[in-house]
A and B are shown apart, each in its own frame.
Chain A
Amino acid sequence: MSHTCTSCSPKLASPSASAASSEKVIAGIGRAAPQGRAAKPFYLKELDYSVVQQCMHCGMCLPTCPTYDATKLERNSPRGRIALMRRIADGNLDVTEAFANEMYFCLGCLACETACPAGVKYSQLFEYARAEVEHSNVLANPKRDVIRQLTLKTLFTNPNLLRFVGRLLWIYQATGLQSLVRDLGLTRLLPKKLREMEPLTPTVNDSFSDALIEPVETPASRSFPKPRYRVGLLTGCVQDLIYSDVNRDTADVLLANGCEVVTPRAQYCCGSLHAHNGELEAAREMARRTIDSFDLDRLDAVITNAAGCGSHLKTYGHLLHDDEAYAERAAQWDRKIKDIHQWLAEIGIVPPKPGIEPLKVTYHEACHLCHGQKITQQPRQVLKAIPGLELVELPESTWCCGSAGIYNITQPEMSQQLLQRKLEQIDKTGAPVVASANPGCLVQIVSGIRNSGREVEALHPVSLLARAYREAAGRS
């Protein structure tokens, strides 16, 4: 194979500082690309050309692309987007506003990667293209810059601040203030964009993971005199605010399967938000900090339960391969990072005791689990391990629900279209529960269910399994 190094990245002057000096590094986020060439293409030009050239435009990706399916326009297809990226890499096209908008119209669902026989690494192209867009500043305007600065560069690089904001949001919701504001129609006072986003606001949990999970938890000694494995648990950032209960469930499931669970406090965002939104340098820094949070030598695996994070967490090796101080540990990280379903299937699931009420469940595959990580059977195994659970296959289960990170905020129209399509498919199954393994998908589907008055519950597969263990324990 001639592409032994399709994973090569631009030789960036990446600051390889340790977490101790990270504040200094953060100040330099997004400035690793050469100065003084601001408008000239950089990322795509420096990307190993074989990655760009890998696409032979056969069109096999077209029928799997949700945006192409919606518009039937080449530009909105994977091969169209890659052709534009290649033009930029070749110097035959400037980074225009139309190109930039196109890169943000892409969901990044990676269905095209699954469909591509030629093995095009679209995820990499997509990240570099968005970095190119940000580097070019074609989309820059004061409002957008402030929002990006506040969210990507401040909120999501500072776990304590994020949790503080989460706490404020919880107070707003728990005190009934949110309902009051909605009932009084005060949301009308919000700017248009915020007003449209308001119904999407997920409900923040009353406790975050650190309050729910001890730093180290050991499986019950009567079942496991000695733990089978010792694993680290990633609590995520958004996941921690909205679905800290799923983190608790994950810990419970790991314990029930004989794993000692180590959960570092106040964890950082894994950097997927940054990587997917054109901030590769920030993503590298978040990767370093996340790696630093875990003592890899003393862990059999590091477990993630959020598909979007997991898909990105598995690329640390590539992301930091140029970083002398981190390359080796990043490679070790890649070997140890496991999606929870993948891990359970690997070690064998301890089945919950039977006697649970029968339940019909359908399964929506998070894009970054099925396409990003190629994990399709394991979540089904987890669900099927639950006694009395009938798994009804969801038509188009691998079709994006429109959540796609922050896509539901940036592209509300397309996102809603995909959500409706997903809800209609869920209806067809007649299942009262839809399981999905990604906080983004769950928030999206829950908001769709809520706003349409459907009576369906959306849960993480691990929560269903944890519930089964708990019910069995309650009976015995």
Chain B
Amino acid sequence: MDKLVSDLIEILGQERVLFEPEHLAVYGFDGTAAVSGEATCVAFPQTTEEVARIVTYAARRKLPVVTRGSGTGLSGGSIPQAGSIVLCLSKMNRVLELDPRNLTVLVEPGVTTITVAELADSAGLLYPPDPGSMKISTIGGNVAENSGGLRGLKYGITRDYVMGLEVVMASGEVIWLGNKCVKDVAGYSMKDVFVGSEGTLGIITKVLLKLVPKPETKKTLLATFARMDAAAETVSAIIAEKIIPCTLEFLDKITIRCVEEFAHIGLPLDAEAILLMETDGHPAVVAEEAAKMEEVARRCGATNVQIAQTAEEAVKLASARRSAFSALARVAPTTILEDATVPRSELAKMVNFIQEVAARYDLRVGTFGHMGDGNLHPTFLTDERNTEEMHRVEKAMKEIFDFAVALGGTITGEHGVGLAKKSFLPGAIGNASLNLIRQLKKTLDPDAILNPGKIFDPAP
């Protein structure tokens, strides 16, 4: 047995350290296509103290530590490297406190997103971030990746709901950042540094989240288009009308087909694109906004606009949309999902460019995404065993990223950089920003033990 394994067993006990090949193999991947690795062992701490002890141990020996939740990430952020310890926090899954007077909830990182959402709901509150994998993704992972979701347009993303964090630093020291105060300007807002840090700066062991009142009502509309850019124009026009719906989701033809094949909810199979639109809030406002959105959609060329008649129907539409990425795997064995994001005014240009690039490189691409946020998910439908085609995918991806950045956009809206987008980061943020990130990393994790090699490579 590896010395590392026996030492960790001393800390956690036999039951919570895995090292057999059949275990290591399945902790070598997450939700990202075509990337994998293998750690030396997988450890399941249950307390902050245990995390701290493991990190202290790793720091002394300069061993890489890769933190993981449910492994649903989409940029390869939790892929382990050889010789590393996978720190799986799925067993740190207690809800510690729901504070209805301050509208906060304190949870351990392994609590699933849906648990928080249901808890909030039962208290008449709402936890808005709802990433596609929310039924199994963990809050720790959501914070580390700064996940978005279908309601980002109106409610923002995970960062907007993090009020406090407990973090185990690379040295093993435990710190607490933030509090239940709505206002707090004492010092730098350090918790924000850790949100979206992808496990490279510290290990999040507790999360204090903000909840908001549950909207009284909502209305869900489904608009059908015969042209992709008409859907994009509709989104820009709705925003220009100064309406901020909670959801403006887009699915192209190929995605519609895959989703329908899975969900059987009667999506229009002959449409080039659909928009799933949702407005929530006070009943009068909701009615007014829904009517206006329908009018705008028709003006922009929607061939049909349908209103969900029941709450159940609305939920079905939203969950069908959440399955889009996985459903696309029906078409091809490897689905390379991208996350290019542009200012909303540039949506039509971006959508058309994706089409054009796909045609030029002779690739199949399904596009869906949070159009209201300008956050698109062009997904290449390919086969990782076809190296020639994979090469064309890489070239097309690069063009799409370059174009998004040229339009004032970014290479990733909500999935993170991880391994999958690492090579595009310098081009997206520039050398000065990259240097700043590197300096920060060096300060907080001088020996680079925390998820090394993710987001960026160490300075040459």
| Contact yes or no, B70 A73, CB < 8 A | no
For residues 271 through 324 of chain B, which have their beta carbon under 8 Å from a beta carbon of chain A?
323-324
| A83-B25, A117-B327, A119-B262 given; A56·B90 CB < 8 A | no
Task: Decide yes or no whether B23 CB sits under 8 A from chain A.
Answer: yes
Task: Decide yes or no whether B133 CB sits under 8 A from chain A.
Answer: yes
| A63-B136, A80-B26 given; A74·B329 CB < 8 A | no
For residues 6 through 61 of chain B, which have their beta carbon under 8 Å from a beta carbon of chain A?
18, 20-23, 25-27, 29-31, 33
| A58-B31, A98-B20 given; A83·B329 CB < 8 A | no
| Contact yes or no, A118 B326, CB < 8 A | yes
Task: Decide yes or no whether A148 CB sits under 8 A from chain B.
Answer: no
For B330, list chain A residues within 8 Å (CB): 1, 3, 117-119
Task: Decide yes or no whether B71 CB sits under 8 A from chain A.
Answer: yes
**Beta-carbon nearest neighbor of A83 in chain B:** B26
| Contact yes or no, B261 A119, CB < 8 A | yes
Which single member of B25, B27, B72, B335 contacts A87 (CB below 8 Å)? B25
Flag A42-60 by CB within 8 Å of B: 1 or 0 each: 0000000010011011111
Flag A1-28 by CB within 8 Å of B: 1 or 0 each: 1110000000000000000000000000
> A336 to nearest B CB, angstroms?
24
| Contact yes or no, B135 A1, CB < 8 A | no
| A72-B90, A116-B326, A118-B326 given; A54·B22 CB < 8 A | no
Task: Decide yes or no whether A417 CB sits under 8 A from chain B.
Answer: no
| Contact yes or no, B29 A83, CB < 8 A | yes
Q: In whole angstroms, what is the CA distance A57 to B259 when docked?
A: 17
For A179, list chain B residues within 8 Å (CB): none
Q: In whole angstroms, what is the CA distance A53 to B331 when docked?
A: 12
For A3, list chain B residues within 8 Å (CB): 330
| Contact yes or no, A63 B261, CB < 8 A | no
| Contact yes or no, A117 B22, CB < 8 A | no
Task: Decide yes or no whether A93 CB sits under 8 A from chain B.
Answer: yes
Task: Decide yes or no whether B161 CB sits under 8 A from chain A.
Answer: no
| A59-B72, A74-B27, A96-B22 given; A53·B326 CB < 8 A | no
Known: A57-B71, A58-B31. 9 other contacts (CB 8 A): A2-B331, A57-B31, A58-B133, A59-B72, A75-B23, A93-B25, A98-B20, A117-B325, A117-B329
Closest 6 CB pairs of A and B: A118-B329, A117-B326, A117-B323, A80-B26, A117-B327, A74-B26
Q: List 29 A-B contacts (CB under 8 A).
A: A1-B331, A2-B331, A54-B333, A56-B31, A56-B326, A57-B71, A58-B31, A59-B30, A59-B31, A59-B71, A59-B133, A59-B136, A60-B136, A60-B323, A62-B70, A62-B136, A72-B90, A72-B91, A73-B18, A73-B23, A74-B26, A84-B25, A93-B21, A117-B259, A117-B262, A117-B263, A118-B327, A118-B330, A119-B330
Residue ranges of B at the interface with A (Cβ–Cβ < 8 Å): 18, 20-23, 25-27, 29-31, 33, 70-72, 90-91, 112, 114, 133, 135-137, 258-259, 261-263, 323-335, 383
